[in-house]
Amino acid sequence: MKEDIKPADGRLGVLVVGVGGAVATTMITGTLAARKGLAKPIGSITQLATIRMENNDEKLIKDVVPLANLGDIVFGGWDIFPENAYDAAMYAEVLKEKDLNLVKDELQTIKPMAAAFDHNWAKRLNGTNIKKVASRWDMVEQLRQDIRDFKVANKCERIVVLWAASTEIYIPLSEEHKSLAALEKAMKENNTKAVSPSMCYAYAALAEGAPFVMGAPNLCVDTPAMWEFSKKVNVPIAGKDFKSGQTLMKTVLAPMFKTRMLGVNGWFSTNILGNRDGEVLDDPDNFKTKEVSKLSVIDNIFEPEKYPDLYGNVYHKVRINYYPPRKDNKEAWDNIDIFGWMGYPMEIKVNFLCRDSILAAPIALDLVLFCDLAKRAGMCGIQTWLSFFCKSPMHDFEHQPVHDLFTQWRMVKETIRTMVGEKSPSYLD
């Protein structure tokens, strides 16, 4: 182990924005159950995945780098709805009551702090547990105090802040986001059109030395202002948008087409989803944010400028439809029109009946644990190596994001090996 990685001593506070939401309560319940030996952390890279070392020995990742122990995690956070985590999880109806009851007492102690919220950024949501603020800067100051108070009250050595709340409305990058000074000025002037609530959470976290993870496609930490701030305070940032369902499939299938040099004419994707996130995305302004995130995958993998005969004219369409009866059990359909030898057409149909929060929960946990590790390893700024977990991986203006799932996975392993002073094994793994 390299000596410059600080050990994971003491308690790790995980503060979740949207702590009463489906993803958050599912992650928390599973983590509490796993650390009691009542459930397996299936889907979690940090808990189950292995890595091959330079001498070809294979080890669990958690035995190679000093990740925080699940037993040392303390959960808290903010939500616009006041219900404790148990009641919120019952409402979400992702997990069965018998599974929630395994850790009922602990879930009932997790009560959300009042959220920093602006209805204009998520018009379909109406909650009462909301901070009264005079400005965006006041919003930041109150959130910073929340983080400090939680850290003291729960005797935490470290904090990570995770956004697991709904998608905000789409906004393009503007002048207010291009430097730290401009962002702070906009906050102090209460520019509510340029500064989103999620930006206030991210700023507050970084100001308190806590890594920030963006689990939605919001314009938030993927701005020059936040890159500047994260480097200034030497704190990692990661995101954005948990890669859980349909996009996960795309980052597997698209590399297969490209590796085989098979052409693609069109890719139509549609979803039905009935949870609170589906309700928010039913608003066109919020869906636009998600659409941009989901559409970015194909072009990056296919490189149409390099392979115009194969991918120069791909028609890519994405739709999400709110359908309340389905609740958290999302269904995704993909129709892919491909062509092969001598241009002959073929079709692939994918019907993915998935559980949105079941897939997203281990991603959220892994991002938290890896960002805590990165902070203790002295890393800051965009954590490109965590692109594996994200639909729309953060990147600066000088680099292109990597979307190929298998290339992303190699980035995770190479970063871990570098952390501990190891080289790649003698063959590709």
Q: Does the structure show a pLDDT above 90 at 299? A: no
More confident site: 400 or 285: 400
Topology classification of domain 11-242+357-419: Rossmann fold (3.40.50)
pLDDT, tens digit, 9 for 90 and up, residues 193-235: 999 999 999 999 999 999 999 999 999 999 999 999 999 999 9
Q: What is the pLDDT of residue 400?
A: 86
pLDDT in tens, 142-189: 999 999 999 999 999 999 999 999 999 999 999 999 999 999 999 999
In the chain, the amino acid numbered 405 is: L
Q: Where are the beta strands (DSSP E) in 55-177?
A: 58-60, 73-79, 113-114, 156-163
Q: Are 137 and 63 in contact, with CB atoms under 8 Å apart?
A: no
Q: Over 334-399, what HEC string results?
A: EEEEEECHHHCEEEEEEEEECCHHHHHHHHHHHHHHHHHHHHHCCCCEECHHHHHHECCCCCCCCC
Least reliable range by pLDDT among 33-47, 69-83, 292-306, 345-359: 292-306
Instruction: Return the minimum-mean-pLDDT range out of 83-87, 163-167, 294-298, 381-385.
Output: 294-298
Task: Report the percent of the chain where pLDDT is more than 70.
Answer: 97
Decide yes or no: CATH 3.40.50.410 for domain 246-353. no
Residues of the chain with CATH 3.30.360.10: 246-353
Burial of 75 (0-12, 13-18, 19+ CB in 10 A): buried
Q: Is 190 exposed, middle or buried (0-12, 13-18, 19+ CB in 10 A)?
A: middle
Band of the pLDDT at 1, cuts 50, 70, 90? Answer: very low
| Structure confidence by residue, pLDDT tens digits, 114-135 | 999 999 999 989 999 999 999 9
Distance CA(29)–CA(89), nearest Å, equals 9
**pTM for the whole structure:** 0.94
pLDDT at residue 51, as a whole number: 95
The model's confidence at residue 250, banded by pLDDT at 50, 70 and 90, is very high
> How many Å from the N-terminal Cα to the C-terminal Cα in the chain?
21
Question: Which of the pair, 356 or 97, is modelled with greater confidence?
Answer: 97
- Per the CB < 8 A criterion, the answer to whether 87 and 27 are in contact is no
Amino acid 3: pLDDT: 56
Question: According to CATH, where is 3.40.50.720 located in the chain?
Answer: 11-242+357-419
Between residues 181 and 295, the one the model is more confident about: 181
